[in-house]
């Protein structure tokens, strides 16, 4: 069986404890975490392989355009 190389865009964030969390927007539920960037990068590759193996649907990675951060005001809740 011939292997196909796929390129995925991953999103990496850092939580309040300093742990890196990586997710793949194109694959629902495909995420992992690690204490360092090299660790989370290695783990997300493994997670992608597991997700692709488990999900037999054809996944076509989307073209990366960019990331933009936006701010919204949280509405006040009334008791």
Separation of alpha carbons 61 and 9, rounded Å: 8
pLDDT tens profile 20-33? 999 999 898 999 99
Provide the number of structural domains found in the chain: 1
User: Considering the domain boundaries, does residue 3 fall inside one?
Assistant: no
User: Considering the domain boundaries, does residue 16 fall inside one?
Assistant: yes
Which residue in this structure is represented by tokens 């975490």? 33
Contact between 43 and 27 under an 8 Å Cβ cutoff? The reply is no
The average confidence (pLDDT) of the chain is 89
User: Considering the domain boundaries, does residue 4 fall inside one?
Assistant: no
Structural domain range at position 48 = 11-54
pLDDT (mean) for 56-63: 76
> What pTM was computed for the model?
0.76
User: Considering the domain boundaries, does residue 78 fall inside one?
Assistant: no
> How confident is residue 64, by pLDDT bands cut at 50, 70 and 90?
confident
User: Considering the domain boundaries, does residue 38 fall inside one?
Assistant: yes
User: Considering the domain boundaries, does residue 31 fall inside one?
Assistant: yes
Separation of alpha carbons 24 and 2, rounded Å: 24
Separation of alpha carbons 17 and 5, rounded Å: 34
* CATH code of 45's domain: 3.30.160.250
């Amino acid at each position: 069986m011939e292997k196909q190389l796929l390129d995925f865009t991953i999103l990496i964030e850092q939580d309040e404890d300093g742990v890196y969390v990586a997710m793949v927007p194109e694959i629902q539920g495909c995420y992992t975490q690690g204490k360092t960037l090299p660790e989370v990068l290695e783990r997300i590759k493994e997670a992608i392989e597991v997700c692709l193996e488990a999900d037999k649907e054809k996944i076509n990675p989307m073209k990366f355009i960019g990331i933009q951060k936006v701010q919204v005001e949280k509405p006040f809740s009334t008791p």
